[in-house]
Structure 1
Amino acid sequence: MLAARRCLPALLAGAMAGLAAAHVHAQDPPQETGEQSPEPDRVVLRNGSVVFGTVTDVADGSISIETDFAGAIEIAQAQVVEMQVRGQHSLKLADGRVLGESPIEVREGELILPDNSVSLVDLERMDPEPWELGKGYEWTGRASIALVYEQGNTDTEEADYRVNARANGLNDRFTLRALGEIDRVNDVKNAENWSITGKYDRFISDQWYWGLATRFERDRFADLNLRTYLGPYLGHDLAWDKYANVELELGVSYVRENFIVEDDRYYPGMVWTIDAKSDWLGERFEPYFYQNGVWDLDDTSNVVVDTTVGVTFPLIGNVIGAAELLVEYDAGTVAEVASVDQTYRFRLGYTW
């Protein structure tokens, strides 16, 4: 009995401690087991509109943001007064500075930096590619073919190929353009021509550049064994609010024309190139225009102009189709060959 009395206080003390611990545990907040979704980026416009989503890019004066309600949209940087972009991003400014990984915050149209602030319009690129920092080149291009095969009274086989490739750097770029055609009628070849053009451009400013171009061209059935030229030029980039981009180039070259039958010609020539693309039909269709011309400065009646106009459209992934018209004019061709050649084609190609 005496032992039971001695144990009773200890049992009561243990029970009280257990109740106190249970009470404290009951007051603890419940533990969350699921992961919270990240907060969206926030963009406030000058007109008071607020856009929530994920900012995917800042380039060319526009902010690209992926939204739940409208998909991908673009907003002019000049229209943004506040912006918060989650995560860490590298930034390239208009003055050439590159900032390391940091969040993006904009207040009253000013991009807040660690040591100062700059106007948001001075943010040239978010997360720039290495080539945009002067490290290497960005390779882009397009390869396409056009085939025709007909059987009947006349068997016709036509094969046309074209490759356009460009390496873009921060201060310069390289361009390669190659095309050709082989035609057969009743197993007899009646057309065989090709041309290769190589160019190097060095940027002077955002819109102006100088360059050096060379071209090799052959058309056996037009009596042209080989036409070559080499020379410098001045170029200008034009852009109209993303509706059209035009490259205009004008220069002088030394031209050599070697013919199979006719006498060879050598002369200084004026060379021009027009390369235009447009987005005014939307992202799915891209009209294009390309022209290359050579004008004989010794004999001004002698001019050679190749013009291509068409439109491309996407098929599957990077596979595209194109419908185009090619017009070739050569005022110096031999009498037995027409000076104008027109060709309509449907092309199948791949872009990278």
Structure 2
Amino acid sequence: MFSRTLLCLALTLAATPALADTVWLKNGDRLTGKIKFYDGGKLLLVTDYGGAIALSWSKIATLESDQELLVKESAISGERAKALQAAEPGKVTLVNGEAPKTIELASIQQILKPKPLVEDLVWKGNIDAALDYKRAERDTDDYDVSLKTQARHGLWRHHAEAEYNREFQNDVVTTDDWSAEYALDRFLTEKWFWQGRMEYKRDRIEDVRRQRTLGTGPGYQFWDNELGAFSVGALLNRSDYEYENGEQDRFYAVSMKWDYNRYLIGKSVELFSDGEVGKPLANVADYTLDAAVGLRYKLTDWASLNMKAEKDLVSGSEGELDETRYSLGFGVGW
């Protein structure tokens, strides 16, 4: 009797459709899955039949969800809805107890899961580590650890980066450097922002031993959503260089920064690149370049393999710097 009851319960559960969000398109199609995020004109719907699907917001007629979601009609304010209900084409109903509210889809700027403290906080980042041991005629040990994270709420966005590199050849240190950077963006419009940033680099081997930079300037965000991001910025910097021989240079420079990443193949592969190319306004150096490009392959939702190439160049200065590093390692992301 007990076995029969369990069998009936299992059949009942199997016959009951799993709870899922639903999106109706203007062409009459209906898609089911789980709404993860809406930003930058794209709604990310995760399905069990096609993986992560990016839907153009302009093609959506209406949608529904049983999740609690933060729906923002401006960059600052938003409404926390316990659920979304389908409405007439071009609209959606926010369910909040006895006072549902129907709004235009065109008025929505962002949809995301609310966070405990700062509801509209979007925080993402990666920590990558690469270790290389080679035992041959020349023994080589190479360590490379890097952190990159970004948090956004309202009109503000924070960036933080740090990296450490150390290499031994036959127990002799041939590379020993680290760097840290913090930048703060204040969005002026949906795309334009103003950035202020601080950066410090320390190298115990190369001629350029210390680099300190303070900069500010405008930037433009082409897109930033669950499928990737691309932004550029033009900065006026004040830089201080200290060389191995004790000499120092202090000068102003202009630079162009970029930050790009794009998810491919259902978000299992990420292509990324970031860097800065600068031109001093004094006759200190011809130009500077600090750039990285790489691929990241996701093993799980949080673990990944990565390979990266980095270039650090100071050309035409009293102590020239020209470093190229290649790394293959393991990382975690959030």
Structure 1 length normalisation: TM-score? 0.77
Q: Which residue of 2 aligns with 1:3?
A: none
Which of residues 104, 107, 111 is equivalent to 1:119? Answer: 104
Q: Which residue of 2 aligns with 1:154?
A: 138
Superposed CA deviations along residues 68-116 of structure 1, whole A, max 9, x for unmatched, are 7556544433323354x36474552424452543541221323346687
Equivalent residue runs for 1:236-315 within 5 Å: 236-239=220-223, 245-261=229-245, 263-280=247-264, 282-299=266-283, 301-315=285-299
* Distance in 2 of aligned mates of 1:41 and 1:262: 64
The verdict on how the C-alpha distance between 1:213 and 1:189 changes in structure 2, with shifts beyond 3 A counting, is same
| SS class of match (2:27) | coil
The verdict on how the C-alpha distance between 1:297 and 1:119 changes in structure 2, with shifts beyond 3 A counting, is same
Query: Does the 8 Å contact 1:325/1:345 carry over to 2?
Result: yes
* Distance in 2 of aligned mates of 1:40 and 1:219: 53
Query: Does the 8 Å contact 1:208/1:237 carry over to 2?
Result: yes
Equivalent residue runs for 1:201-240 within 5 Å: 201-239=185-223
Q: Which residue of 2 aligns with 1:129?
A: 114
Tell me the number of residue pairs that the alignment of Structure 1 and Structure 2 aligns: 316
Q: Which residue of 2 aligns with 1:342?
A: 324
- Higher relative contact order (CA closer than 8 Å, sequence separation 6+): 2
Superposed CA deviations along residues 249-289 of structure 1, whole A, max 9, x for unmatched, are 11112111111216211111113311111235541111111
How far apart are 1:179 and its partner, in Å? 1.0
* Distance in 1 of aligned mates of 2:300 and 2:225: 28
The verdict on how the C-alpha distance between 1:63 and 1:185 changes in structure 2, with shifts beyond 3 A counting, is closer
* Distance in 2 of aligned mates of 1:80 and 1:136: 23
- In structure 1, the gaps of 5 or more residues are 1-31
Q: Which residue of 1 aligns with 2:28?
A: 48
Does the alignment pair 1:104 with 2:82? no
* Distance in 1 of aligned mates of 2:255 and 2:283: 14
* Distance in 2 of aligned mates of 1:140 and 1:270: 29
Q: Which residue of 2 aligns with 1:79?
A: 59
Q: Which residue of 2 aligns with 1:145?
A: 129
Q: Percent identity?
A: 19
Query: Does the 8 Å contact 2:38/2:225 carry over to 1?
Result: no
- In structure 2, the gaps of 5 or more residues are 1-7
Query: Does the 8 Å contact 1:242/1:278 carry over to 2?
Result: no
* Distance in 1 of aligned mates of 2:201 and 2:22: 55
How far apart are 1:134 and its partner, in Å? 5.3
Does the alignment pair 1:59 with 2:38? yes
Question: One-letter code of the match for 2:105?
Answer: L
Structure 2 length normalisation: TM-score? 0.80
Kindly report structure 1 stretches of 4+ aligned residues shifted beyond 6 Å. 32-36, 240-243
Question: One-letter code of the match for 2:16?
Answer: S
Q: Which residue of 1 aligns with 2:160?
A: 176
Q: Which residue of 1 aligns with 2:179?
A: 195
The verdict on how the C-alpha distance between 1:241 and 1:195 changes in structure 2, with shifts beyond 3 A counting, is closer
The verdict on how the C-alpha distance between 1:289 and 1:99 changes in structure 2, with shifts beyond 3 A counting, is closer
The verdict on how the C-alpha distance between 1:281 and 1:184 changes in structure 2, with shifts beyond 3 A counting, is same
Does the alignment pair 1:163 with 2:147? yes
Question: One-letter code of the match for 2:28?
Answer: G
* Distance in 2 of aligned mates of 1:152 and 1:102: 62
Query: Does the 8 Å contact 1:91/1:123 carry over to 2?
Result: no
* Distance in 2 of aligned mates of 1:318 and 1:158: 24
Superposed CA deviations along residues 125-146 of structure 1, whole A, max 9, x for unmatched, are 4564238x95574432211111
Query: Does the 8 Å contact 2:84/2:93 carry over to 1?
Result: no
The verdict on how the C-alpha distance between 1:310 and 1:40 changes in structure 2, with shifts beyond 3 A counting, is closer
